[in-house]
Amino acid sequence: MASRTRTRRDSDVGEEPGARTSLSASETAHKIERRRVSEFVNLVRGPVAALSTEQNLLVKRDLLESLSRRAVCWMALVLFVSVFVFEFGYWIKTSDIYLLFRVVWIFGLWGMAAPMAIYLLKKTMALPKHAGVNAVEQMHWAWAALVVLTSVWWAAGSFGIKPPFFPAHGDSHIIFHRNFFLRLTLICHVFTVLLLAPSLRATLGSLVLGTIPFGFSLGEILLFKLPAVLESLTAQLIGYCLIAWFLCYDQKHACVKEVILEEARSRAEAARAEKNQLIAAISHDLRQPLTTLGLKLNYIERNIESTRLAEDVSIAQRQVDAMEGMINGTLDICRLESGTWSVEIQEVVLPSLLHGIVVDMQPLARAKGLKLRLHSRPYLTHTDRHALDRIIRNMVTNAVRYTPSEQGGKKGHILVGCQRRGNLVKISVWDNGIGIAEDKQADIFKSYVQVDNPERDREKGFGLGLSIVQGLANLLGHKLDVDSTPGRGSRFSVTVPFAGRIPPELLEVQTVESGDLDLTNMVVAIIEDNSDLRTEISMRLIEHGCYVVAGESSCDVIEQLRIEALATGPHFILSDYRLKNEDGVAAIAAVRAATDASIPAILWSGDTSSAVLKKVTVSGIRLLSKPVSEKTILTLLAKHKPSTEGE
């Protein structure tokens, strides 16, 4: 007995793995089947299946708002037509109850549909933004109920209209009887389907339930006397229902796609804002010490005596300049992307602008053994001077970098010129450099892309110049052209509006070459919360004769100005944007309020966020990107130095 028991147990144990395998296979088959069914359902449902809870709520709200507006239009149409039915309908007049029924019918429509529609519309508009799915669904059902009730009440009017009859032969008079009322209603269901498309329950409820009164008032007549008419009307109603179903889901899918696209746009904007914030933080934290380092190296280089040490300092200065160029280029890209690069369209004297660029670039060209020439014409253009200067300067810089001193026995040369083309002026930079392959020309305007610099040699730039050129050209609406042949050279052109020719008496342009700038007795207020940078800038300005009042906030500067009781000034305000307890815009405004509102001012910042750039743009104060060179600061101050003492 024990032996049999053990055998049976052993047998049972031996059968369990097979049973489990069979059960597992069965469960897997069921899961696969359920997944296939789910995939098919999702395929039919379309993008609705991919909605999150929040997105589903947005879709429901959009559909509810659309339904509320369209339902009001639909009811207005019903009420308008009801007046004609009341007046011209072939109503039963055999007893007072039918006359009363006629009055109750018209007043019931106007007294029920109109006030309820207005009430629900106000309630829908007042629905809180944080309302949940249940609240939205309740409002949706309320609208559907009102629509269905209105449809049923409308169709109930058939009880008071006379049954159809057939007039004498040749009588073409239209009798507004029940059958005609039914046909008119079915024809008007076209508007019902179109206007109530945001809600399948409201549309189908209106179509199906609204025909019930007709079934009682016309069923016997149509069934026994005109069965073909009954079949035709039924087929028509079914067709309307199918069309309503299709339109409803098509409109819902369109709404779902819009919500998904809006969600994608929001995520993209959030990612972009996060990227700008990251760049702004890194840029600010990097520029602060970089500005101090650049000023210190410049001072050491001017005062050092050891030749070997001077060479090391010069190398360090070049590294700082390279970092400055990279950061400034990145800032310009951020300004263009965020739309905070403001432009001022005005008449620009083209010869003066081109001459200044060529003069500035001549030392670089000579150092590389290149011949840089200018062929200009006395044209005026309509553009932003600063932006056009940046475009052409970047083109010339690019040509100098990629044009060898000699190639194929020919000396490297660059030509800057312009030609008039009707109402346009085409400004071009030609070079006989390495050229660009045709399949690579579209890539050169992308950020950080350099076609002939795989080793990322910083002497050839960072790949930002032409990207900035493209952005500025798009901003100004100027057309860019590239014509290049490998081994023969390139031509970069920008086309600007022609504004006229320069009068002959103004063709001679006077230029003044100055040596060391003299800023003696110019009072400059500096607002900078970084003590090292504040001290370094103050020392450089004092060396050039400035009287400096510096502090870490506007309150510090105002207090020092009060204590020192200066006879004049300040004549200029220099301020960092990101301060401890205020921003630079507010700090400059405070100093101006305490002294003189017309004092010129400049902001500097390493912050590249779009919010900061927009705020500075609105303030009208010029913004310099860190690191700010000593030459830039001195040049700005020289332009605003009072011509006589006391101004």
Q: Report the range of poorest mean pLDDT among 195-204, 226-235, 508-517, 634-643.
A: 508-517
pLDDT of 158-186, one tens digit each? Answer: 887 877 665 555 444 455 677 777 777 87
Question: What's the confidence (pLDDT) of residue 441?
Answer: 60
Torsion of CA 119, 123, 124, 128, to 10 degrees: 170
For residue 571, the SS3 value is coil
- Split at pLDDT 50, 70, 90, the class of 462 is very low
User: Which DSSP string corresponds to 619-647?
Assistant: HT-EEEESSPPHHHHHHHHHHT--SSTT-
Burial class (CB in 10 A: 0-12, 13-18, 19+), 81: middle
The 10s digit of each residue's pLDDT in 272-306 is 666 666 566 555 665 666 677 677 767 776 767 66
* Mean pLDDT, rounded, for 431-459: 59
Average pLDDT over residues 144-149: 89
Q: What is the largest CA-CA distance in the chain?
A: 131
Mean predicted confidence (pLDDT) in 591-617: 83
pLDDT of res. 7: 42
Distance CA 569, CA 565 (A): 10
Segment 510-552, tens digit of pLDDT: 333 334 566 777 889 999 988 778 877 887 787 777 888 888 9
Judged by DSSP in three states, 364 sits in: helix
Residue range 47-78, pLDDT digits in tens: 454 567 777 777 888 888 888 888 888 888 88
Mean pLDDT check: name the lowest of 209-218, 485-494, 509-518, 536-545: 509-518
| For helices 385-402 and 350-367, angle between their N-to-C axes, nearest 10 degrees | 30
**Span of 57-66, 423-432, 448-457, 480-489 with lowest mean pLDDT:** 448-457
Q: What rounded mean pLDDT belongs to the chain? A: 75
In this prediction, residue 381 has a pLDDT band, given cuts at 50, 70 and 90, of: very high
H or E segment to which residue 217 belongs: helix 212-224
Degrees to nearest 5, angle at CA 432 with 431 and 435? 90
Q: Is 346 left (phi over 0), alpha (psi -120 to 50) or beta?
A: beta
Percent of the chain with pLDDT over 90: 4
Q: What is the pLDDT of residue 2?
A: 42
Tens-digit pLDDT profile for residues 549-590: 888 999 989 888 887 666 677 899 999 988 888 899 999 999
| pLDDT value for 563 | 73
Dump pLDDT digits (tens) for 354-364.
Answer: 988 888 888 88
The predicted-structure confidence for 108-138, as pLDDT tens digits, reads as follows: 888 888 888 888 888 888 888 778 888 888 8
Q: Looking at the predicted structure, is the pLDDT value of residue 23 above 60?
A: no
Is the preceding omega at residue 378 within 30 degrees of 0, hence cis? no
Tens digits of residue pLDDT in 312-354: 666 666 666 656 655 665 666 666 666 656 678 888 889 888 9
Q: Distance between terminal CA atoms of the chain?
A: 124
Cβ neighbours for 308, distance < 8 A, ≥ 6 positions apart = none
Highest mean pLDDT among 31-35, 182-186, 597-601: 597-601
